Amino acid sequence: MATMNVSIPEPMKAWIEERTRDGSFSNTSDYVRHLIRRDQERSRAVAQIQAAITEGIESGAARPFDPAALKARMRGDRDG
């Protein structure tokens, strides 16, 4: 595993140390890895949302929504 030195303000250092003292994390590295994983997950989620937005924009103009037709399709009606 690689090592990285990071400089942080004292209040942040105290916060991290508290997370290890209260048992939330076994050590500082565990806490930082947790934060990085959360950031990675968030970044993936934002990318998925952006892809869906782009797909919607590129799909063309919106069509009027017909709730009766949707209900008919859900019921399996052939004419809906």
Q: Count of domains in the chain?
A: 1
80, part of any domain: no
> pTM for this one?
0.70
Other C-beta atoms closer than 10 Å to the C-beta of 19 total 16
Q: Which tens digit of pLDDT belongs to each residue from 24-56?
A: 999 999 999 999 999 999 999 999 999 999 999
Q: Would you state the structure tokens that stand for residue 18, as one six-digit string?
A: 């508290």
50, part of any domain: yes
79, part of any domain: no
4, part of any domain: no
Domain that holds residue 49: 10-61
68, part of any domain: no
- Residue 72 near residue 80 (C-beta atoms within 8 A): yes
